[in-house]
Structure 1
């Protein structure tokens, strides 16, 4: 019997490669051998630029009210601690949403899920400034945070699927750099405009900027190659979550995110209240310039990946946390230049530590990776919500010294616990 040329090659008419156990599609075979984009490829650069846009869209909206909380508190007639809930509301919404977003992303794809998240968040961001009451503002901020949860829940998993494993730590550092730029732009844009036109116009302009960043993400993201769609049930997500929470090597990383982010947000939430009071008496527009310290985080998060490749993630994580402690203690000074130096050190240490811990949470497991990165973000933003509010309580009752004590204390706990993570370099 005559055999057709395609059959002799082992290829069926439906594009499948025959094996002794059946047939495997060419697409599946390509995915099985896919190792990720290399650092010198065009697609690698496109991924980083796309995630820069996503980082700007996400974190500009998430934290744009932070530098203008005193103005918002006066306008809506709430206390300093209550105004901090504007940040906590969005971060608690984000914390609750990250695991559901990971389930959605497993089914429909990382890029598609991130696009949906960005569009929903941008629409809510454009609505948020026009909330007439503090209670309605809280509702919109919770929903906005839940929508924004689709980016940090998915981004690191997306990087681990699309980027060569040898460059994953560096790529994760670059992504975190983008988030720091987003947070910086949100604060720098909103505060000066709020000084002139009010906090509502300031945050609205940030939302418009986020819409442009979202459009950039849509335009430049390359087609995904490392993702294989699969149906994941709520029961499977719950099982994977429990499995990760039973792993001390993963839990120690989740705790890093919770404690360090909590201290970081508390510091920046109430720094403006301190500097606008005596003896500094600085206007909102001027205090917002202190957020330029975020540029130190942009540099340190990128550099942390290179340092981790050389010295190990655990060593860099602990060293970065100690930088945070040193920096926050320096801000106890009554000299503004010294406070700025302390803030720069503190910010650089935080972003380096966060870059290491977030990337490690995804890399330290090969099973249910998206649930691991989502759990990290869940703990991370829960810490932001809880300690962001408690920092206001410390500020109201004990002043800046009380807030510094809280932040340094929880960072020290994180550093001691991080010794467990330092036991392995992987």
Structure 2
């Protein structure tokens, strides 16, 4: 239940800065832990003598666990409060991350990684709902962009830490333990900095009410399409980053693990892109911005076909720009569109988003193993084209009040 007793935060407010910093560190921790095994996939293939697709399950089961738990976690935040659920979520994820580092077998590693994903489920949807509750609508796009920027910094920072530790120590276990330790420090900062909710009062949520919210959001044709956007974009992104390491480690490039790890610095492009995308969408419109993001991502995917290192890296950078721009705008659009049950709406978007990660990453591994890199790039282009087809009929959202439910989704 929301209350308007406290004014919504705007850019320049001291509390706005605390929210931005706190959610930035939360986003960092989420992505650093969630994709910690991604740069280790070639090492897991070697150590456990499995296929790339099987090794990629160490990523897919984590995002799958998150996807399955994200809506129940969103409901818990309605009862227990946004901040407590986020803090306990990250704490549990750090514990499972440390345990995964000492797993004696691949299958136990997968179980612990799945539990890590379940623990992380309390953060993403609740963080988006927290922002939608506390931040003024006119400043929500920028705030959401900063949160997504934290995701991108966690994405490349976590992968660089893992890659460096793996290369320097030769131990994937020390690499996973190291990033879990870094995440513990980020959790402490988040706990100290993030202010309690000012515009939200926890209230019990019954199963019937939760099901009703889910049905109401699924009945909105605009939200359905936005959920599909999250699924397709994230599938594209994770597939690209899962298998580009195999491309760069093999001929004609034959780069070292450490050098390939620094490819994840391209996530820094997402830091800038996600922050700017919210503001750009205010001028060009959300639909136009997402369509442009799809075009950039597709161009980047095609460039990665070239047997030239600079073009592969440049193409991955363009794909990263397209992904973060599209995701930042679509996630903010969900927050504006949902008139009620924002945590549930955000949870449904992120359920689709992380299902896309699991399915896209796993199917990409099947394609890569069966037909190689060129077919994998074709799969990426197909996912991006599907995103554009889904977005094209949408009407641009208003910048002030959300539209009434049931408004037609096509022009």
| Bucket of the pairwise TM-score, normalised by the shorter protein | over 0.9
Tell whether 2:255 aligns with 1:282: yes
Tell whether 2:340 aligns with 1:376: no
Q: Distance in 1 between matches of 2:270 and 2:29?
A: 18
Tell whether 2:150 aligns with 1:178: yes
Tell whether 2:213 aligns with 1:223: no
Match of 2:73 in 1: 101
On the 8 A contact 1:324/1:411 being kept in 2, the answer is yes
On the 8 A contact 2:98/2:177 being kept in 1, the answer is yes
Match of 2:381 in 1: 408
Match of 2:127 in 1: 155
Cα deviation, residue 53, structure 1: 1.1
- Structure 2 counterparts to residues 219-258 of structure 1, below 5 A: 219-258=192-231
Q: Distance in 1 between matches of 2:223 and 2:26?
A: 26
Moved over 6 A (4+): none
Match of 1:261 in 2: 234
On the 8 A contact 1:314/1:425 being kept in 2, the answer is no
Match of 1:90 in 2: 62
Per-residue deviation, residues 111-148 of structure 1 (Å, max 9, x unmatched):
11101101111111111111111111111011000111
Match of 1:9 in 2: none
Tell whether 2:394 aligns with 1:417: no
- Give the superposed CA RMSD: 1.3
Cα deviation, residue 186, structure 1: 1.0
Secondary structure class of the residue paired with 1:150: coil
Q: Distance in 1 between matches of 2:193 and 2:89?
A: 17
On the 8 A contact 2:299/2:315 being kept in 1, the answer is yes
Match of 1:208 in 2: 181
- Structure 2 counterparts to residues 52-63 of structure 1, below 5 A: 52-63=24-35
On the 8 A contact 1:73/1:80 being kept in 2, the answer is yes
Secondary structure class of the residue paired with 1:35: coil
- After superposition, the Cα gap between the structure-2 partners of 1:317 and 1:35, relative to the gap in structure 1 and judged at 3 Å, is farther
Match of 2:328 in 1: 355
Q: Distance in 2 between matches of 1:275 and 1:422?
A: 41
Q: Distance in 2 between matches of 1:152 and 1:191?
A: 25
- Structure 2 counterparts to residues 5-404 of structure 1, below 5 A: 31-197=3-169, 198-404=171-377
Cα deviation, residue 425, structure 1: 4.1
On the 8 A contact 2:5/2:199 being kept in 1, the answer is no
Cα deviation, residue 204, structure 1: 0.7
Q: What are structure 2's unaligned runs of at least 5 residues? A: 400-411
| TM-score, L = length of structure 2 | 0.95
Q: Distance in 2 between matches of 1:326 and 1:226?
A: 43
Number of residue pairs aligned between Structure 1 and Structure 2 = 398
